[in-house]
Chains A and B, each alone.
Chain A
Amino acid sequence: EDQVTQSPEALRLQEGESSSLNCSYTVSGLRGLFWYRQDPGKGPEFLFTLYSAGEEKEKERLKATLTKKESFLHITAPKPEDSATYLCAVQVSGGYNKLIFGAGTRLAVHP
């Protein structure tokens, strides 16, 4: 069965304290791995898509990387406005375009 596991469940950082979120996946065949940000009571907001091992993408303070078994979302010098839940999702081969989500990591950045 295709599975996505995110860790940690929750992370508290001081402003400026860099860290990484992990997304490990077990799938029959990966078509793409997606990172989303979700604010309370809102829909997921698209951040990145990664397609192959070794690929990296960056946006402001965020950088996503992908290996054959996991992806990392690195947050460099976070600010309080980066506080949100970060969701990882995969699209699998033969699964049309549906996304399989992990449970997310709740990030709180304190000044």
Chain B
Amino acid sequence: EPEVTQTPSHQVTQMGQEVILRCVPISNHLYFYWYRQILGQKVEFLVSFYNNEISEKSEIFDDQFSVERPDGSNFTLKIRSTKLEDSAMYFCASQQGNYGYTFGSGTRLTVV
């Protein structure tokens, strides 16, 4: 069964550093997403991406965040200057049409 692949599975970074979280969505999917889940809290929407541009973003997705699809397969989330409160599980997801999303296994980001 097709999968969404995320790397790395765990990233530890110092406060103020830049991190890039990487995702390979399912190849024939058209919609791409990033969500995050702070420990013990709800899964929260960050951003959706379609046709090579952001289609929607949440209030969380401020100027320190950016997304990119640099080639035909990868989808990245960059956090420019990490803060302690950015520590969370970050999930990439992809979707085709109106079917349920397929989520990746996540990247656990720890900011120290």
Residues on A lying within 8 angstroms of B by beta carbon are 31-32, 34, 36, 41-49, 87, 89, 95-104
Contact A44:B95 (CB < 8 A) given known A96-B55, A96-B56, A101-B44: no
* Shortest Cβ distance from residue A91 to the other chain B in the assembled complex, whole angstroms: 8
CA gap between A95 and B24 in the complex, in Å: 24
Contact A43:B56 (CB < 8 A) given known A34-B100, A96-B48, A98-B33: no
B103 touches A44 (CB 8 A): yes
* Shortest Cβ distance from residue B94 to the other chain A in the assembled complex, whole angstroms: 11
Contact A98:B98 (CB < 8 A) given known A43-B106, A44-B103, A87-B43: no
Q: How many residues in B have their beta carbons less than 8 Å from beta carbons of A?
A: 28
- Measured between beta carbons, the chain B residues less than 8 angstroms from A96 are 48, 55-56
A43 touches B105 (CB 8 A): yes
A99 touches B101 (CB 8 A): yes
- Measured between beta carbons, the chain B residues less than 8 angstroms from A43 are 4, 6, 91, 93, 103-106
B102: Cβ under 8 A from any A Cβ: yes
A49 touches B56 (CB 8 A): no
* Shortest Cβ distance from residue B47 to the other chain A in the assembled complex, whole angstroms: 9
Instruction: Identify 20 new A-B residue pairs, CB closer than 8 A, beyond the known A44-B103, A102-B42.
Output: A31-B98, A34-B100, A42-B105, A43-B91, A43-B104, A44-B91, A48-B100, A95-B56, A97-B31, A97-B48, A97-B55, A97-B95, A98-B33, A98-B45, A98-B48, A99-B35, A99-B45, A100-B45, A101-B42, A103-B42
B98 touches A32 (CB 8 A): yes
CA gap between A96 and B105 in the complex, in Å: 24
- Measured between beta carbons, the chain A residues less than 8 angstroms from B108 are 41
